[in-house]
Amino acid sequence: MEIFVQQFINALALGGTYALLALGLAMVFSVLGLINFAHGELMTITGYAMFFAIAAGIPFPIAVILGIAAATLAAILMERIAFRPVRDANTATMLLTSFAVSTILHMLFQNLISARPKAIPVPDWMIGAINLGGLSIGVIQVMSITATTLLLLALTVFLRRSILGIAMRAASLDFPVTRLMGINANAVIATAFGISGLLAGVAGVLWLAQRGSVDPLMGFLPVLKAFIAVVLGGLGSLPGAVLGGFVLAFIEVSLRAFLPDDWLPFRESITLTLVIILLLVRPEGLLGRKDAVR
Amino acid sequence: MSEQGNLLAIEGLAVRYGAIEAVRNASLEVREGEIVTLLGANGAGKSSILNAVMGLVPVAEGRVVFEGQDVAGQPPERIVRRGMTLCPEGRHVFSNLTIAENLKIGAASRRDKSEAAATQADMLALFPILDERRDQLAGTLSGGEQQMLAIARAMMSQPKIVLLDEPSLGLAPQIVDTIFELIVRLRDRGATILLVEQNVDLALEIADRGYVLATGDIVLSGPAADLRGSGDVERAYMGSH
């Protein structure tokens, strides 16, 4: 029972990180029809911003804020510099642009900083665990679950209450008609990128707290997972992206915890096989619309 | 400057999709307080004219003079903020938003939110069925109700002129009558309307003036009363102009 609860919390914490990343991908996709493959680099930018901030003697909590701000700003700049000029081109052009942005950033990280991992010293209190009725829960896990919950709540309020939030939901269905409402297309798209950057920044901090270092390719794996989560949840559905992130994390954590030792090397393949089976049963994803065609 | 009294004047408009010329040389005027109808068979280019006027598709040639200023080529959001809006063909309500949210976003271009709330109350009074279902998703409405919502949503920006694209499309005859009565009521309340329709008889019944479009050209125009009686509209439709 105890190990079960422990693993459940692990899965929630990991699922939160995937959910934040997947939600960022899904927000940009829903307004632009673009899967932004440079999304992972936003996490990496958070990492380097924190690395340099800490190296400059800035306290850890402020470095965290700077790291998140850096990812948000980078996402907005990415849209302005790379994606806006090709917005009216076809989807393949935008997709290739996102690969280019990703590759250029890799090169910059490698050549201007280092190809080797840079350590990010995490404060001691974050490495510890909290004792909760006999259960020891990692501080990082608690922070991860709390941050995810708060962000998802704030985002829900934003999407339900504010005009810009309602406009973003409208734009995910019908962009031209959203503009007919007098909604500025650039504002909607820039906001989507800004939020995706913010979420990637927070996910980056949570990811870094576990790893303790940043390297040029840091963002690749988690964003690949987030992409799987988005497809699993239903491309274009924001709640779907969140659900997909949690489902993926639960599958991964269960396999890691309960699979026999000699099966462990295959756990990624087993995870992906399960995802494929889910998609065979529901090709539109868990919460996707049947008629969703882009 | 435009001719006096013209709220909207389309002058020599051409719209092209690649090599295809959808609209060749269309000119029409709408004066304040009028219902003007633009008729034509399927594919004649009526929607292309409206979409080009609103900036949803590029204007290849010509001018779109709204309140004395050429707005051709401006983005749709700016044109809406100037006071011209389009209720698109096929209704296009946001089916994933509630009715209240659809109306709220319709007023996005307005600064004064209390005035916008007043317009919303006004629209809900005009369309009681929408008031009853305020918190339901727009996708759950019937076709006629969706059309009402689309019109109400367009009115939320308090436009000086509304372009209505095929409001009768796919609706049952009684519902079509209701929608047309509503269009007349909106005009009586001071709205100016450019109405694109395939339902020629009904459109000419409520319109002040009409234009007939055939394969990208305006082939006939005049007061609705004159167009109604003569066989010219049918002849223009058949393409024997």
Cβ(B219)–Cβ(B189) below 8 Å: no
Question: In the prediction, which pLDDT does A292 show?
Answer: 45
Per this entry, what is the length of chain A? 294
pLDDT tens profile A180-230: 999 999 999 999 999 999 999 999 999 999 889 999 999 999 999 999 999
Q: What is the mean pLDDT of residues A32-54?
A: 95
Neighbouring C-beta atoms of residue A46, cutoff 10 Å:
32
Q: Which residues from A are below 8 Å from B92, CB to CB?
A: 174, 177
Nearest to A182 among B56, B95, B109 (CB): B109
Please provide the DSSP assignment of chain A as one string: -HHHHHHHHHHHHHHHHHHHHHHHHHHHHHHH----TTHHHHHHHHHHHHHHHHHTT--HHHHHHHHHHHHHHHHHHHIIIIIGGGTTS-HHHHHHHHHHHHHHHHHHIIIII-SS-EE-PPPHHHHSEEEETTEEEEHHHHHHHHHHHHHHHHHHHHHHHSHHHHHHHHHHH-HHHHHHTT--HHHHHHHHHHHHHHHHHHHHHHHHHHH-EE-TTTTHHHHHHHHHHHHHH-TT-HHHHHHHHHHHHHHHHHHHHHS-GGGGGGHHHHHHHHHHHHHHH-TT-SS--TT---
Nearest to B108 among A163, A169, A172 (CB): A163
CATH numeric code, B32-58+72-238: 3.40.50.300
Query: Checking DSSP bridges between strand B192-197 and strand B35-40, what pairing results, if any?
Result: parallel
User: Which of these, B158, B165, B190, lies nearest to B179 by C-alpha position?
Assistant: B165
Q: Percent of chain B, pLDDT > 90? A: 77
Q: What is the mean pLDDT of residues B126-138?
A: 94
| Side chain identity, residue B153 | R
Q: What is the mean pLDDT of residues A265-276?
A: 90
Cβ(A121)–Cβ(A134) below 8 Å: no
Q: Which residues from B are below 8 Å from A167, CB to CB?
A: 105, 108
pLDDT tens profile B82-100: 999 999 999 999 999 999 9
Question: In the prediction, which pLDDT does B166 show?
Answer: 94
User: B104 — contact with chain A (CB < 8 Å)?
Assistant: yes
B62: alpha, beta or left? (left if phi > 0; alpha if psi -120 to 50): left
User: Which of these, A226, A238, A273, A264, lies nearest to A156 by C-alpha position?
Assistant: A238
Nearest to B77 among A166, A172, A183 (CB): A183
Please indicate whether, in this complex, the C-beta atoms of A179 and B86 are within 8 angstroms of each other. no
For residues A66 and A72, give the distance between their C-alpha atoms in angstroms, rounded to a whole number: 10
Q: Which residues from B are below 8 Å from A176, CB to CB?
A: 56, 76
Cβ(B187)–Cβ(B156) below 8 Å: no
Q: Partners of B92 in the beta sheet?
A: none
pLDDT tens profile B45-68: 899 999 999 999 999 999 999 999
Neighbouring C-beta atoms of residue A8, cutoff 10 Å:
14
Lowest mean pLDDT among A124-128, B16-20, B76-80: A124-128
Please indicate whether, in this complex, the C-beta atoms of B75 and A174 are within 8 angstroms of each other. no
| Side chain identity, residue A116 | R
Question: In the prediction, which pLDDT does A293 show?
Answer: 39
Q: Which residues from A are below 8 Å from B56, CB to CB?
A: 176, 179-180
Nearest to A182 among B77, B94, B95 (CB): B77
With H, G, I as helix, E, B as strand and everything else as coil, classify residue B238: helix
For residues A63 and A54, give the distance between their C-alpha atoms in angstroms, rounded to a whole number: 6
- When the pLDDT of each residue in chain A is averaged and rounded to a whole number, the result is 92
Q: Which residues from A are below 8 Å from B110, CB to CB?
A: 182
Question: In the prediction, which pLDDT does B1 show?
Answer: 42
With H, G, I as helix, E, B as strand and everything else as coil, classify residue B83: coil
For residues B14 and A5, give the distance between their C-alpha atoms in angstroms, rounded to a whole number: 68
Q: What CA–CA distances, in Å, run from A144 to A42, A233, B173?
A: 18, 21, 58
Reading the block at residue A185, the tokens are: 């297309």
Nearest to B88 among A163, A170, A180 (CB): A180
Q: Is the pLDDT of residue B16 over 70?
A: yes
Q: Which residues from A are below 8 Å from B105, CB to CB?
A: 163, 166-167, 170, 178, 181, 183
pLDDT tens profile B164-184: 999 999 899 999 999 999 999
Please indicate whether, in this complex, the C-beta atoms of A182 and B97 are within 8 angstroms of each other. no
Decide which of A109 and A136 is more confident.
A109
Q: Report the residue of chain B nearest A184, measured CA to CA.
A: B77
Question: In the prediction, which pLDDT does B75 show?
Answer: 94
User: B97 — contact with chain A (CB < 8 Å)?
Assistant: yes
Question: In the prediction, which pLDDT does A289 show?
Answer: 73
Q: What is the mean pLDDT of residues B121-129?
A: 92
What is the least distance, in Å, from the CA of B76 to any CA of chain A? 6
Q: Which residues from A are below 8 Å from B77, CB to CB?
A: 179, 182-185
For residues A93 and A91, give the distance between their C-alpha atoms in angstroms, rounded to a whole number: 5
Question: In the prediction, which pLDDT does A225 show?
Answer: 94
Q: Which residues from B are below 8 Å from A185, CB to CB?
A: 75, 77
Question: In the prediction, which pLDDT does B40 show?
Answer: 87
User: Which of these, A31, A46, A48, A43, lies nearest to A83 by C-alpha position?
Assistant: A31
Question: In the prediction, which pLDDT does A229 show?
Answer: 96
Nearest to B96 among A173, A181, A184 (CB): A173
User: Which of these, B223, B181, B179, B221, lies nearest to B87 by C-alpha position?
Assistant: B179
Residue A142 CB contacts under 8 Å (≥ 6 apart), including other chains: A130
Q: What is the mean pLDDT of residues B4-20?
A: 90
Question: In the prediction, which pLDDT does A291 show?
Answer: 53
Cβ(B123)–Cβ(B152) below 8 Å: yes
For residues A276 and B159, give the distance between their C-alpha atoms in angstroms, rounded to a whole number: 50
Cβ(B169)–Cβ(B179) below 8 Å: no
Residue B186 CB-half CA count within 13 A: 31
Q: Percent of chain A, pLDDT > 90? A: 76
Please indicate whether, in this complex, the C-beta atoms of A167 and B76 are within 8 angstroms of each other. no
Cβ(B233)–Cβ(B226) below 8 Å: no
Q: What is the mean pLDDT of residues A132-158?
A: 91
pLDDT tens profile A77-123: 999 999 999 988 888 999 999 999 999 999 999 999 999 999 999 88
pLDDT band at A6 (very low <50, low <70, confident <90, very high): confident
